[in-house]
Copies of this chain bind each other. A is one copy, B any other.
Amino acid sequence: MEGMDALSRTRVVLARPSHPGNIGAAARAMKTMGLVDLALVSPRHFPDPDAMAMAAGAADVLAAARVFDTLEGALADCALAVGFSARERELSHAPSTLRDAAPSLIEATAEGRVALVFGNETSGLSNEELSRCQRFVVIPSNPGYGSLNLAAAVQVVCYELSVAARAFAAPAARERGAASVGDVEGLFTHLESAAVSSGFLDPEKPGRFMERMRRLFARARLERQEVKLLRGLLGALEKKKRR
């Protein structure tokens, strides 16, 4: 599986979320990255107006969210459950980093639904909850303060999976209307003659002026319209000088 297909087979499971605002913000984070399947295990408050407010344009994800009494229930139809945590555990599986794990999580969607399991805001996943997961993934973070907000963690994980799934095309390069080599050479000729006629450049001792100009405009990768503007400006300056 790849692309949107893989993401549509990926479920976000929030275990015992305390703040309904985080549930809504997580729904929004999911939808921006192409995920739609949200499961809640014993949320403290749900449904809730704060969840609605924070979901913004992802009200549909929130409305379709299912509530379970137990994590087992939320994972029953999944082929793989992945626990996320900021901390390492005594009894845990060996953790992998999000970047390293992402491609294999996308691959796993070919075998069935994949659940991404996030724990409570304050306490994270319990050891009991983590033991229901077959994999354990960490988001590397500042050892001095690694406490990502719950919805922020969901955003980062969904982003990483959408990149691994190649779900969204890179933005198309806008038609730049690149200037031709001839256009650019015309500009250089014009620039040099203007520099000479203005007295700025001594044609007997030109130094490296034109070389530097060529380097600058090569870096800038000029557009056709920009060459026109620059030549228009040069022309106007030359006329002014002659007056």
Contacts and interface: CB of A to CB of B under 8 A. Distances in A.
A236 interface: no
B58 A176 contact: no
Interface string A109-153: 000000000000000000000000000001111110111110110
Total copies of the chain: 2
**Chain A interface, >50% SS class:** loop
A57 interface: yes
Nearest to A137: B171
A97 to B, nearest CB: 5
A31 to B, nearest CB: 5
Interface residues of A, number: 45
A198 interface: no
Nearest to A153: B155
Given A92-B174, A94-B176, A142 B168 contact: yes
A67 B144 CA distance: 26
Contacts of A172: 88
A155 B28 CA distance: 14
Interface stretch (A75-83, A156-164, A202-210): A156-164
Given A88-B171, A171-B88, A142 B94 contact: no
B28 A149 contact: yes
Contact of A140 (B58, B145, B171, B174): B171
A29 interface: yes
A103 interface: no
13 contacts: A25-B152, A29-B149, A31-B145, A34-B142, A56-B147, A88-B172, A94-B174, A95-B171, A139-B159, A140-B169, A142-B167, A143-B168, A152-B152
Given A92-B174, A97-B171, A149-B155, 5 more contacts: A95-B173, A99-B163, A100-B170, A143-B168, A148-B155
